[in-house]
Amino acid sequence: SLELMFLGVSRDHRGLRIGKSLAEATCKLAKSRDIPLVNVIFSSNFSQAIGRALQWDELCTIQMNEFSFKGRPYGDFTGEHQTLVAMGKKID
């Protein structure tokens, strides 16, 4: 499998479909290398929306508050982004 890691776009360039294009390019790369699966852990509402728009399979959802940093739940640091969603895409 090929893992898509750290999908993020500068605030100044959001809304230009850059994140979606990067995710699509990852699938094209996997196909060109005969890699049968792309997987990712999306940690923001924005990236999760990209995965859903591209019809990736949702494999697992975990609440941010299941993890902590220095005794504080992650959800305290992530604002509106309260879940981690593992997704996968079978490459045909």
Q: What are the tens digits of pLDDT across the range 36-73?
A: 999 999 999 999 999 999 999 999 999 999 999 999 99
Q: What are the tens digits of pLDDT across the range 5-38?
A: 988 888 899 889 999 999 999 999 999 999 999 9
Angle between helices 18-32 and 45-53 (to 10 degrees): 50
Cβ-contact 53, 20 below 8 angstroms: yes
The span from the CA of 63 to the CA of 1, in Å, is 25
pLDDT for res 1: 95
pTM for the structure as a whole:
0.87
Q: How sure is the predictor about 77, in pLDDT bands with cuts at 50, 70 and 90?
A: very high
pLDDT for res 89: 97
pLDDT for res 91: 96
Question: Distances from the Cα of 39 to the Cαs of 27, 74, 76, 83, 86, in angstroms?
Answer: 10, 22, 27, 17, 7
pLDDT for res 92: 87
pLDDT for res 15: 87
- How do the residues of the chain divide into helix, strand and coil, expressed in percent and rounded to 5? 35, 30, 35
- Find the helix or strand (DSSP H, E) in which 9 lies: none
The span from the CA of 10 to the CA of 14, in Å, is 6
